Structure 1
């Protein structure tokens, strides 16, 4: 069987949302977001941009998601890790008899119907391998919220690389990853904001 590689979207955003607890926990707050955008263009091959924001616990979920929705270009494809629900949470929700509350990506899709949102299931071990191959520092297991927030842009880029290597032809992977590495070298020369 021949597998036909996908065409990389003209605009692809890799979204990472860092919370201080599981998305479905009652007192979970969004503390940081990173939006890595890859825009394919004829003259330059690709342009890359990173949008990184941090929030205190007082920021509401609605205001943070509204801000994300406003920063995503029209007609973009958005990739993000699919949220996981614990068995305990599912049992509790079903026992209560009510519907499950919407996930962040579902709320984003409601607000921006023009987006193609792809929740990605990706094992941490896969992301670790990709990060090691490209010398990307990720926040380790059990890292505090500050470390995870600082590393959110790296996490978004690692997720994009996982998507790139699993979905596209070798020629496209090499072309885009080489362009990204050149962009990344320039970005690394800039001082960290916090």
Structure 2
């Protein structure tokens, strides 16, 4: 896809993999909207790449819907959505202090899995409302999973479950959207050192 002049959403785009993705898309000529909760970093990245920062909690339906609407109004219908937002909290199933904190497990699933789906459903709807491009394509959605979806380590039950869910849902979603000219694909990065890994 030629992204020059097209709107692109990058969640978690203030730093780490999302920040690098936002920079790469901007370098290719895309109009990039950064969805993140890190105001200072998000605004700095937006200035750096000439993009738009929108404070967005991807796990919040109303907040994310408003952000997608703003993208459509200011940049046009998104042609690209890259889901990089995520958290990497760790904890063993049982530890000296007792069983795994269920609230922490739930939070990781809420952000990494449900938040990703929330952006997919809203971004793909916005894409579907736009006219197809010259090649008949309306957009592409890229979901960031992790090698942990396949080779989770000690303390990664929540994280691996969330990323395994991302892998598992991407194919049926891609099949749902194929007739509309919207592609979907997952990526599964190996180990590197984004901010979310600093606490592991």
Q: Under TM normalisation by the shorter chain, which class is it? A: 0.3 to 0.5
> Quick one: higher RCO (CA 8 Å, sep 6+), 1 or 2?
1
User: What TM-score do you get using the length of structure 1 for normalisation?
Assistant: 0.32
Compare the two structures and name the one with the higher helix fraction.
2
